[in-house]
Amino acid sequence: MNKAFHVVIVGAGVAGLVTAALLMQGKQREQLKLTLIDANARPLYSAADELALRVSAIATGSAELLQAIGAWPAVIAARACAYDRMLVWDESSTADSSDALRFDAADFAVPQLGFIVENALLVDALLGVVGRYAPELFFASPIASLEAAKNGHLVVLRDGRKLEADLVIGADGAHSVVRECAGIESREWDYEQFAFVTHLQAEQPHANVARQRFLSSGPLGMLPLADGRISVVWSTSEAQAQWATNAADDELGAALSIASDFVLGRLRVAGPRGVFPLRARHAEDYVKAGIALVGDAAHAVHPLAGQGANLGLQDAFSLANVISAALEQGEHPGDRPVLRRYERDRGGANAAMLHFMTGLNRLFATDSTLLKELRTTGMWLFNHSGPLRQRVVHVALGTRR
Ligand SMILES: Cc1cc2nc3c(=O)[nH]c(=O)nc-3n(C[C@H](O)[C@H](O)[C@H](O)COP(=O)(O)OP(=O)(O)OC[C@H]3O[C@@H](n4cnc5c(N)ncnc54)[C@H](O)[C@@H]3O)c2cc1C
């Protein structure tokens, strides 16, 4: 290939930025030209600001990957809360019962299970890394459509500009325009739950433990924050999420204290509020000639195990490896058979996680007494299952080697 191979990444979220950083750091970077486009203005982050509402659990394996590309030091220098224990229980039992699931970093030979990080901080740190390689960056530039071109596609921006791309990477999130314009169908189903999110001040210290209580209306996640507060993700009915959005602080604090079974004592509302509809989605194809999807553009999973961003990160690593290897071997990275290597690598793993999360959510939302008893027995067995427990947790931590 004489002319540089032009990759246009649509979407500067975690998945798009990690893909960009890896391509810019790859052995074949001399053969690449990279453009990154995002619909929003360039985000600004300052650690002097209040801790933002949107946070993610970044598994320890994902943190290692972010370290390898150079983004992690800026995250740690700002603020992130390591958690070394996880506690999961269901409303018919208590957090200290023998059938509660307990995960301790030491049991899995890792320094911590993961970190709770603001999404905006992660994006900021990744932009810092990507910026070192001076790719073409277009912020506040939503794409409108794709047009077929001789050797790839024309990416058409809403303001009328057109960019010629040998490969378009759709990293534009759950409502991906790239996916839609490429005519890629996705299977979707509604969880019939909404995620209500806020920060709380608890009576007792969080002690760097991530907690989740399964209620029949949906899971209640309580994640430790760097400033001592907790971030709550309450997956519940639309009506309850609406109620939580409008309730007075003391009413909401009381409701969440009850929902948490007072595991951290009384809870007090101490942050802004937000609501996100929860819908599972899986693209029928991840690739077409000249097009590849990564992150939420390819799959959206229930946030109950905090896996969405982590899966996007793994997609990015896989796709960047496939592109670099193809360039090294003189292949055209936009060819469908080449891109299929990425799809084969990630499609099955993501589908397995998606169905596992959907099943888990249904299992805990059941009213059936028989299923409830089986579930309690299953949790006890899982706690004592040795190798199975090791395997499942290492997959979730992204440390399966
Ligand atoms: C309540 C909640 C809690 C969660 N908790 C966790 C957690 O603890 N751990 C975890 O791993 N995951 C979690 N997730 C999931 C995680 O937030 C997502 O999986 C992740 O942010 C997806 O990253 P992405 O880069 O694929 O997409 P996005 O973050 O959605 O980024 C897409 C980017 O594309 C841009 N874009 C969109 N349309 C266009 C267009 N037309 N033109 C140009 N640009 C465009 C957007 O501006 C955006 O910057 C949670 C999700 C929810 C809802």
Query: Bridge-partner residues for 277, per DSSP?
Result: 194
User: For position 98, what pLDDT does the model report?
Assistant: 83
- pTM of the predicted structure, to 2 decimals: 0.93
SS (H, E, C) the chain: CCCCEEEEEECCCHHHHHHHHHHHHCCCHHHEEEEEECCCCCCCCCCCCCCCCCEEEEEHHHHHHHHHCCCHHHHHHHCCEEECEEEEEECCCCCCCCCCEEEEHHHHCCCCCEEEEEHHHHHHHHHHHHHCCCCEEECCCCEEEEEEECCEEEEEECCCCEEEECEEEECCCCCCHHHHHCCCCEEEEEEEEEEEEEEEEECCCCCCEEEEEEECCEEEEEEECCCCCEEEEEEECHHHHHHHHHCCHHHHHHHHHHHCCCECECEEEEEEEEEEEEEEEEECCCEECCEEECHHHCEECCHHHCCHHHHHHHHHHHHHHHHHHHHHCCCCCCCHHHHHHHHHHHHHHHHHHHHHHHHHHHHHHCCCHHHHHHHHHHHHHHHCCCHHHHHHHHHHHCCCC
Q: What is the dihedral of CA 263, 268, 270, 273, to 10 degrees?
A: 80
Cα of 255 to ligand 1 centre, how many Å? 29
Based on its alpha-carbon atoms, the radius of gyration of the chain, rounded to whole angstroms, reads 22
Cβ neighbors of 255 (< 8 A, separation 6 or more) are 244, 247
**Of all protein residues, whose CA lies closest to atom 52 belonging to ligand 1?**
303
pLDDT at 83: 97
Predicted local confidence at residue 370, as pLDDT? 66
Choose which residue among 36, 38, 302 to substitute to test ligand 1 binding: the one with the highest number of ligand atoms within 8 A of its C-beta: 38
14 C-alpha to ligand 1 centroid (Å): 7
Ligand 1 centroid, distance to 54 Cα (angstroms)? 10
Question: Residue 401's pLDDT is what?
Answer: 47
Residue nearest to atom 11 of ligand 1 (CA): 309
Which residues does a 6 A CB cutoff place in the pocket of ligand 1?
10-16, 37-40, 56-57, 142-143, 171-173, 177, 195, 197, 233, 276, 295-296, 303, 306-310, 312
Strands of the sheet with 267-283, listed across from one edge: 101-104, 85-90, 209-215, 218-224, 230-236, 186-202, 267-283, 299-300
Go through the domains of the chain in sequence order and give each one's CATH number: 5-397 (3.50.50.60)
Q: 1 C-alpha vs ligand 1 centroid, how far in Å? A: 34
Largest CA distance in the chain: 67
Give me ligand 1 centre to Cα 11, in Å: 9
Which atom belonging to ligand 1 lies closest to the Cα atom of 223?
Answer: 8
Q: What is the pLDDT along the chain (401 residues), one digit of tens a residue?
A: 568 999 999 999 999 999 999 999 999 899 999 999 999 999 999 999 999 999 999 999 999 999 999 999 999 999 999 999 999 998 888 999 888 888 899 988 899 999 999 999 999 999 999 999 989 999 999 999 999 998 899 999 999 999 999 999 999 999 999 999 999 999 998 888 999 999 999 999 999 999 999 998 889 999 999 999 999 999 999 999 999 999 999 999 999 999 999 999 999 999 999 999 999 999 999 999 999 999 999 999 888 878 889 999 999 999 999 999 999 999 999 999 999 999 999 999 899 888 877 777 777 776 677 666 767 777 776 676 677 677 777 777 777 64
Protein residue with its CA nearest to atom 50 in ligand 1: 303
Report the pLDDT value the prediction gives residue 42, as an integer from 0 to 100: 94
Which pLDDT does position 307 carry in this prediction? 86
Sign of the torsion angle spanned by Cα atoms 84, 386, 99, 233: positive
Shortest-distance atom of ligand 1 to CA 276:
53
Question: What distance, in Å, lies between the first and last C-alpha atoms of the chain?
Answer: 35
CA of 53 to the centre of ligand 1 (A): 14
